[in-house]
Amino acid sequence: MYSNARAQKPRLTGELSSASGRLSVSHFNYGRGAEIFGEAEPAEYIYQVVEGAVRTYKLLPDGRRQIGAFHFPGDIFGLENGETHRFTAEAIVASTVRLVQRKSLDEVAQNDPAISRTILGMTTGNLAHVESHMLLLGRKTSLERVASFLLEMHLRSTSAGVLNLPMTRRDIADYLGLTFETVSRAMSELYRKDILKFEDTTRRHIVVVLDVQALAELADKRSQAS
Amino acid sequence: MYSNARAQKPRLTGELSSASGRLSVSHFNYGRGAEIFGEAEPAEYIYQVVEGAVRTYKLLPDGRRQIGAFHFPGDIFGLENGETHRFTAEAIVASTVRLVQRKSLDEVAQNDPAISRTILGMTTGNLAHVESHMLLLGRKTSLERVASFLLEMHLRSTSAGVLNLPMTRRDIADYLGLTFETVSRAMSELYRKDILKFEDTTRRHIVVVLDVQALAELADKRSQAS
DNA sequence: CGATTACTTGAATATCCTCAAGGAGAGTGG
DNA sequence: CCACTCTCCTTGAGGATATTCAAGTAATCG
């Protein structure tokens, strides 16, 4: 259920590399908090995180925010079929992003069924992730949500055990459908239960997972028949 | 935001019709509540509702359920890229379903880029729907959720004004991340506000929307600056 | 170094859930 | 045809979980 996102979202310099010569590629740097593209803007490019971290989200008119996904180096985002973006994308920290012109990708895909299949695969990967997230948002408790989040980050992480969480508590809250206070309380509870510890002193952006098993049990709780 | 699902999910006897001669198609009837396929089962077919209504859902180990979508005549469901289904699908009422063998569809798609594009378009349509639903599940109040649901059904409905809701209050609740009592209370509130009325006496499966504008305002509430 | 932002924790509140009761239609079998 | 059961829906009362409001600390940034 918490499948590795890196496996779902092939690097452009990976399964799409066969077409790289024919693609119009550029790079751009974004400062912390900078908008990469806005919801309903024309989708001229697709994007890949080279360095840093990106959040994609939707807003309600009164400002309530739902983050759909976090994107880390290697992840592709902003992949659209229609004319416009369905999300806003922002850099969480200073980030480098690779941009591929959609038009050039479409042209290449037209003649290369393998590219088409890769794009479909990435879209399906997004779909699978979002569908699991619906279950979390609709039916999990706050502690289960935070445990699920940490487990997801853990499974996506390259460095075993140590998680660098570049996003704020509010970002996490808006991803999990909670308030940042509730996220904070849940993290403290996991700390008290010796399931995780904080590597940095107080800002708590670096988390060490001590007990993955316990985290997984909390994330996907079954009826406690014991 | 509440785009017409029928436009997103082309009929098999529509945009895929050019390939219909080469597709292996069959039909099947399912009784009320019958399972069409189960989560994690091999995905041998893709499905289209001919008559009736279908729900697709995920379960947590302790039985909590999240319905991902409702499917009505013309809608396609069970479209997978991987080997297995990510949802369970059940008939809400006695239903007729068209089955298309995936293998035959894949073969046709291999040689026909238009079919590939149609499949990608359907997948993207699913993705767009689910992404909007995340915002609902993560950030909307109970009344906003029920209003959004009724508006979605209204926009998908063919007969203007009159909605036939074949699903139970519990189904609606599991779609909206609520309990069936909360759904019932919200419906009663909309009735008291003269936004809808019930066409049948007490079972309340047939709903007439009296004020679409009010429903839309509740569904996508902005800060009431007035 | 002062201001700002981010995080934690406590107390009070609100929203939604749980538990419960009652009614009404659909289906079944005598 | 009519009781009987079952399912579904509504509504009320009480309770639980998460939110809101608030205070205090610490790190970051200009």
What is residue A37's predicted lDDT score, i.e. its pLDDT? 97
* C-beta atoms of B124 and A63 within 8 A: no
Q: What is the number of other CB atoms lying within 10 angstroms of the CB of residue B33?
A: 11
Report pLDDT digits (tens) over B145-183.
Answer: 999 999 999 999 988 789 999 999 999 999 999 999 999
The answer to whether A205 and A166 have CB atoms below 8 angstroms apart is yes
What is the token pair recorded at B106? 């894949």
Q: Which of residues 143-182 of A touch B (CB under 8 A)?
A: 174, 176-177
Report, as ranges of residue numbers, the positions in chain A whose pLDDT lies below 50: 1-11, 223-226
Q: Is the dihedral of CA A87, A92, A94, A97 positive or negative?
A: negative
Which residue has 């403290």 as its token pair?
Answer: A188
Q: What is the rounded distance in angstroms from the CA atom of residue A95 to the CA atom of residue A90? A: 10
Comparing C-alpha atoms, which of A19, A72, A82, A18 is closest to residue A47?
A72
Chain C footprint bases within 7 A of protein beta carbons: 6-11, 15-20, 24-26
What is the token pair recorded at B203? 């079972």
What is residue B195's predicted lDDT score, i.e. its pLDDT? 97
* Helix and strand element counts for chain B (H, E): 7, 11
* C-beta atoms of A60 and B126 within 8 A: no
Cβ-based contacts under 8 A for chains A and B: 120
Comparing C-alpha atoms, which of A79, A81, A109, A23 is closest to residue B113?
A109
* C-beta atoms of B221 and A61 within 8 A: yes
- CA distances to A90, A158, B225 from A71, in Å: 10, 14, 35
Residue B225 has pLDDT above 70, yes or no: no
Is residue B206 less than 8 Å (CB to CB) from chain A? no
Q: Which of A124, A176, A177 sits opposite B81 (nearest CB)?
A: A124
pTM of this prediction? 0.92
* C-beta atoms of A124 and B177 within 8 A: no
What is residue A224's predicted lDDT score, i.e. its pLDDT? 42
Which residue has 């209370």 as its token pair?
Answer: B185
Return the closest nucleotide (C1') to the Cα of B138. D18
Residue B204 has pLDDT above 90, yes or no: no
Residue B115 has pLDDT above 50, yes or no: yes
What is residue B159's predicted lDDT score, i.e. its pLDDT? 81
What is the token pair recorded at B55? 């729900």
Residue B84: closest C-alpha in chain A:
A128
What is residue B13's predicted lDDT score, i.e. its pLDDT? 54
Instruction: Suggest the residue from B46, B81, B174 to mutate for an interface test with chain A (most A CBs closer than 10 A).
Output: B81
Residues 6+ apart with CB under 8 A from B126: A127, B8, B9, B69, B79
Calculate Rg over the CA atoms of chain B: 18
What residues in B contact A139, CB-CB < 8 Å?
60, 64-66, 177
Which residue has 């309530």 as its token pair?
Answer: A64
What is residue B9's predicted lDDT score, i.e. its pLDDT? 43
Length of chain A: 226
Residue B67 has pLDDT above 70, yes or no: yes
A193 CB closer than 7 A to any strand C atom: no
What is residue B221's predicted lDDT score, i.e. its pLDDT? 77
Which residue has 């050019």 as its token pair?
Answer: B18
- CA distances to B43, B144, B153, B159, B214 from B209, in Å: 38, 15, 10, 11, 10
Q: What is the rounded distance in angstroms from the CA atom of residue B118 to the CA atom of residue B11? A: 10
What is residue A223's predicted lDDT score, i.e. its pLDDT? 45
Give, as one character, the DSSP assignment of residue A27.
E
What is residue B168's predicted lDDT score, i.e. its pLDDT? 97
A218-222, B13-17, B90-94: least confident range: B13-17
